């Protein structure tokens, strides 16, 4: 906001940087969700819905051993976002699948550590490390 009360172009860019975005691709047969922005109360329903749909597809006979979440561009996660991750971990686990969390930035990784979720979730340094056949949980 500028001194006269109007928004500047810079303020608009900063606001967009935190807007939740989800894109998806398949790498080596594994669904990879690329997340960006803030995973909070406003973003949680979209992420939850996509993870539930993927878990249902995989449980119904999809060949992938799980889902990779790429958090490289995530700037913030709150308790609502954390609960979505825990629920997805549980739902995927019911069908023998895994939720693999990749590339969590230091701020997000710290939240995972403080809440003890680093002991529950499979954390990887990057997406290639999170793919089956890789050796690298971090």
Q: What is the pLDDT of residues 4-14, one digit of tens each?
A: 444 444 344 43
Calculate ∠ Cα 38-105-9, nearest 5°: 50
Q: Where are the domains of the chain?
A: 9-130
Nearest to 73 by CA among 119, 120, 25, 19: 19
The model's pLDDT over 34-57, given as tens digits with 9 standing for 90+, comes to 999 999 999 999 999 999 999 999
CATH entry 3.90.1150.10 includes domain 9-130:
no
Burial 107-138 (b: 16+ CB within 10 A, else e): ebbebbeeeebbeebbbbeebebbbeeeeeee
pLDDT digits (tens, 9 = 90+) for 109-136: 999 999 999 999 999 999 999 998 776 5
């Amino acid at each position: 906001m500028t001194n006269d009360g109007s928004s500047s172009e810079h303020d608009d860019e900063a606001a967009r940087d935190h807007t939740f975005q989800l894109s998806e691709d398949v790498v080596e047969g594994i669904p990879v969700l690329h997340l960006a922005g803030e995973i909070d109360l406003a973003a949680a329903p979209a992420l939850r819905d996509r993870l539930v749909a993927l878990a249902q597809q995989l449980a119904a006979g999809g060949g992938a051993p799980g889902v990779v979440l790429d958090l490289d561009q995530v700037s913030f996660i709150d308790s609502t976002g954390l609960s979505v991750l825990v629920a997805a971990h549980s739902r995927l686990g019911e069908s023998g699948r895994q939720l693999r969390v990749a590339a969590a930035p230091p701020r997000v990784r710290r939240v995972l550590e403080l809440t003890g979720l680093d002991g529950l979730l499979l954390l990887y340094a990057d997406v290639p490390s999170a793919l089956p056949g890789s050796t690298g949980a971090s």
